[in-house]
Structure 1
Amino acid sequence: MSSNCSSKFMKYRPLLWILLIPILNIFYMVLNHDGARVNNLMTDLDAQIPFIPAFIIPYLSWYPFIMIMLIVILANSSKTYYRTFIALCLGLIISYIIYYFYQTTVPRPPITGQGILYSLVRFTYQTDNPFNCFPSIHVLTTYLIWRGALDCNGLAKLMRFFTSFMLVAIVLSTLFVKQHYLLDIAAAIFIAEILYFIAGKCLAVSLKSRKHISRQPNP
């Protein structure tokens, strides 16, 4: 019994690295304010996108979705988990560097409606200042989770469909609750794709190096 518990702990021990995410998030809070110059990346198309309060549901579901899917990916493939997690942390760091040097904002509409959805939007606006927009961390991290899920060969088709659905829903939510612009989304996907590629190459080199060392005869 104790042996089974020990093996399960060892398998899921890499989840402890998730604690690094809230530590990195400290930089988000420090940078989430206006600076000497704040840029607005709104396009004509962004101006045509309506505010739809119902999309606050997938927007807020991002938080548990990321954590749950990291567990699912680890259960399926530790290699894909590390690749996804490394790319995710690098994505956060790069985003914070961009926020420091190129701060952007998204003006928010007045919230006058009543009901739970409007209350959730007001809560989101009150707890998250309208800065740190380019690139969108919501989109960047969700895209990386989606890429990781696609690489998990043993993942059920229903779970793959769910991950794809959540990607679309969360991306759209950032637009419809007026948290991001189209350029924020494009930049997030571009950075995520590059980092996922780099993380894969780095892991491949690391694994190859470990195998080479393990094959060396003991002196």
Structure 2
Amino acid sequence: MNIKRKIGDFFKKYKHAWVFSYALLYGPWFYYLETHVTSGYHIIYSPIDDKIPFIEYFIVPYLLWFVFIAVVFAYFFFTDVDGFYKLAKISFAGMTIFLIISTIMPNGLAIRPVVFERDNIFVDLVKMLYQTDTPTNVFPSLHVFNSLAACIAIKNSKKLNEHKAICMGAYILTALIIMATMFLKQHSVLDVMAGFLMAYTLYQFVYAPEANGVRKPVRQTLFVK
């Protein structure tokens, strides 16, 4: 009975976990795009891409993105339900927009290097990344967008803002992740710009109203004795 009660209390306390059911929509949709968008897609390219060198060492912050997003979501999930809902709202809205864009306008890249000048463990990791991640469905960059969404959530958390080192570390890591998308030739500068634009736009709907002092009206309840 104690175990059942503990399980029941856990789900009662963390009932907002239902939000993660979004994966049931995103997962199959993204998998479909990855397996069906293989040719005839729109090439995302800017002349600026050619001026950005390939630097394999950026594979480290690129891979840290997965840990970063998971840790930020976990923090808000367990400590700040309201912040968690806002983070989920901005993140999942952006990811849905990404899916819609990729469906309506299949897109991809043609800037990945074929020959590598160096041979080291970082290049090996990049090769593994290229083998597992197709150069399609790149606009806008979710690495950029989700990193910015996490930073927005952190910036708007009063509790986290008391820990300047944590905030600064998150911002620096985000900057490195964004740079990594271009230095690893995983994204065009256009993908990055679109990620910024989408984060800024969705911020106006999710966080800006409260930040500007606009709050939802509170319903008054009349008590009759």
Q: TM-score, normalised by structure 1?
A: 0.84
- 1:114 paired with 2:116, answer no
Partner of 1:29: 31
1:83 Cα deviation after fit? 0.9
* Larger CA deviation: 42-51 vs 66-75: 66-75
Q: Which runs of 5+ in 1 are unaligned?
A: none
1:201, distance to aligned residue in structure 2 (A): 7.2
Q: Report the Cα distance in structure 1 between the residues aligned to 2:155 and 2:202, rounded to whole angstroms.
A: 16
Q: Secondary structure at the match of 2:158?
A: coil
Q: 2:62 aligns with which of 56, 59, 76?
A: 59
* Matched letter for residue 175 of structure 1: M
Partner residue in 2 for 1:123: 128
Map of 1:27-176 to 2, 5 A cutoff?
27-32=29-34, 33-34=36-37, 37-107=40-110, 108-112=112-116, 113-155=118-160, 156-176=163-183
Q: CA deviation at 1:36?
A: 6.1
Distance in 2 (CA, whole Å) between partners of 1:58 and 1:128 is 16
* Counterpart amino acid of residue 182 in structure 1: V
SS state of the match for residue 179, structure 2? helix
Aligned residue identity for 1:179: Q
**SS where residue 106 of structure 2 aligns?**
coil
* Equivalent pair of 2:38/2:136 in contact (CA under 8 Å): no
Letter in structure 2 aligned against 1:82: Y
Q: Report which stretch shifted further, 132-141 or 70-79.
A: 70-79
Deviation readout 1:194-218 (Å, 9 max, x if unpaired): 22322347999xx847x527x3558
For residues 89 and 57 of structure 1, do their structure 2 counterparts lie closer, same or farther at Cα, with a shift above 3 Å needed? same
Residue 5 of structure 1 and its aligned partner are, at CA, apart by 9.1
**Structure 1 residues 124 and 111 mapped into 2: Cα distance closer, same or farther (>3 Å)?**
farther
Q: For residues 22 and 95 of structure 1, what CA distance do their matches in structure 2 show? A: 16
Task: Specify which structure has the higher proportion of helix.
Answer: 1
**After the TM superposition, which of the residue ranges 181-190 and 105-114 deviates more from structure 2?**
105-114
1:70–1:111 distance in 2 versus 1, CA, 3 Å: farther
* Identity value in percent: 26
Cα RMSD, aligned residues only: 3.1
Shift of 1:7: 6.9
Q: Deviations over 1:82-119 (max 9, x none)?
A: 11111111111110110011122222112544332112
Scaled by the length of structure 2, what TM-score is found? 0.82
Q: Is it true that 1:192 corresponds to 2:194 in the alignment?
A: no
Return the alpha-carbon distance in structure 1 between the equivalents of residues 152 and 125 of structure 2: 29
Residues 146-197 of structure 1: CA distance to partner in whole angstroms, max 9, x if unpaired?
0000000111111111110111011001001101011111111111222232
Q: Distance in 2 between matches of 1:133 and 1:19?
A: 24
Identify the range of structure 1 (126-135 vs 11-20) with the bigger mean alpha-carbon deviation. 11-20
Structure 2: any 5+ residue segments left out of the alignment?
none
Is 2:140–2:192's contact at 8 Å kept on the other side of the alignment?
Answer: yes
Amino acid at match of 1:31: L
CA distance 1:80–1:59, change in 2 (3 Å) = same
3-state SS of 2:42 partner: coil
Q: d(CA) in 1 for partners of 2:202 and 2:33? A: 22
Q: CA deviation at 1:21?
A: 3.4
Alignment size in residue pairs: 215
